[in-house]
A and B are shown apart, each in its own frame.
Chain A
Amino acid sequence: MNADLANNDPHERARMLIALSGPEGVSNEQHSWLAAHLESCPECREFSENAREAIHALRAIPITAGARLVSATQMRVRQRALELQRQQERVWVVSVCCAAVTLCAVFTTAVFWFGFGWLGEQMRCSPPLWQASFALFSIMPAVLTAILLLARGTHLADRNGASQG
């Protein structure tokens, strides 16, 4: 702070001190110096008077929020809070489902792996064959789902195009 106020021009320094006058802005020493300077400098005294009035006028400017703005804001905030809460609940449900699916997948993959191995031995198939069958079996649900979604997407796009046309 002192570095900022260490101005060689006493008038500039005085004006800076006037502008910063406040609980933490100016030290006692600076305040004494300013008082002495104002005694002898009418221009800075006028600036001080103007600044005092400007601050007083600034504090008196009546800008207030209307009751309608406040209640509208409160309503919007409550609605958004509800949306966020629902969103959070959905995220929680999806997370739990994902965890359950992962757990099931880990368990069933091991079971099916041994099952395919046993079946391969019983049918006297070579290991690459039952392993390839296992891989096909594993990816089949995903492939079927992708095909269904693609078909549904194409169908919806066709329907939208027809309704717009």
Chain B
Amino acid sequence: MNATACYFVNAMAMKDENIEIARGLQRRDPDLLDHLIEMYQHRLLRYLVSLTGRRELAEDFFQETWIRVLERGRQYDGRHEFRAWLFTIARNLVLDHLRRKHPASLDSLIDSDDAAPLQIPDTGQPSAFDATVQREQNELISTGMHHVPVEYRETLVLRFQEGMSLEEIAGVTGAPLGTVKSRIYRGLSALEPWLKGARL
């Protein structure tokens, strides 16, 4: 089977999967929701941590997101990828929360300089040299991510941690494609000093 055929087979399988999810959400099937929560647990939490910058807050939004998925599941038609729809719901929840507290912008999520960096749990890896260097670099990048404006941070997470296409990111964030590209570029540029710091 050549690459194009593989692509279409995968695309068809994904479409079928999305339709199945849409049917399950129509029925408010709790077993399906249990499965989805387990399937997307890390990705959703990572995205919410990137948006809020605080693990506790992200965990609250994590639960609220799935409650909203249950309540509004009938709006999901299965024509688009479920992950993008899920992330859009999570993003809107965070925005709604901010609108109640602050002006309607993700800017208000940008933390002050003295705030704690993104909280990264200890991985518990053996303390080999490579692992230590990698962990230090990760910590520096995590700290750097904390200082990157939240729009860029969000786009970087969607692109490089979630592996989303540019169009999908545009769909989730509601930003034009050109803006998405620009945010990726600027986000990586903003992280550059932190990487240089890691090398010193």
Q: Mark A residues whose CB is within 8 Å of B.
A: 1, 3-4, 15-16, 18-20, 22-25, 47, 50-51, 53-55, 57-65, 69-70, 72-74, 76-78, 80-81, 84-85
Q: Is the CB of B178 within 8 A of A80?
A: no
Give the segment of B13-21, B60-68, B91-99, B105-113 that binds chain A. B60-68
A4 lies within 8 A of B160 (CB): no
A53 to B165, CA, bound (A): 20
Known contacts A4-B178, A20-B184, A63-B120; is-contact A57 B138 (Cβ 8 Å): yes
**Contact (Cβ within 8 A) A16 B138:** no
Question: Which residues of B106-125 have CB atoms within 8 Å of chain A's CB atoms?
Answer: 118, 120-121, 123
Residues on the B chain within 8 Å of A61, using CB: 46, 118, 120, 138, 141-142, 145, 161
Pairwise interchain contact B192-A76, C-beta atoms closer than 8 A: no
How far, in whole Å, are A65 and B43 apart by their CA atoms in the complex? Answer: 9
Q: Using C-beta atoms within 8 Å of the partner chain, give the interface range for chain B.
A: 35 or more
For B30, give its contact among A4, A47, A58, A78 (CB under 8 Å): A78
- List of 9 A-B pairs having minimum Cβ-Cβ separation, nearest first: A65-B41, A19-B185, A57-B141, A65-B45, A63-B46, A58-B160, A54-B191, A50-B195, A73-B63
A63 to chain B, nearest CB (A): 4
| In-complex Cβ contact of B141 among A18, A54, A78 (8 A) | A54
Bound form: Cα–Cα A64–B46 in Å: 7
Give min CB distance, A151 to chain B, whole Å.
38
**B49 surroundings in chain A (CB, below 8 A):** 63
B184 contacts A24, C-beta separation under 8 Å: no
Further pairs besides A18-B188, A50-B195, A69-B59: 14, Cβ < 8 Å: A3-B178, A4-B181, A19-B185, A47-B192, A50-B188, A53-B137, A54-B192, A55-B188, A57-B141, A62-B121, A63-B118, A76-B63, A78-B30, A84-B28
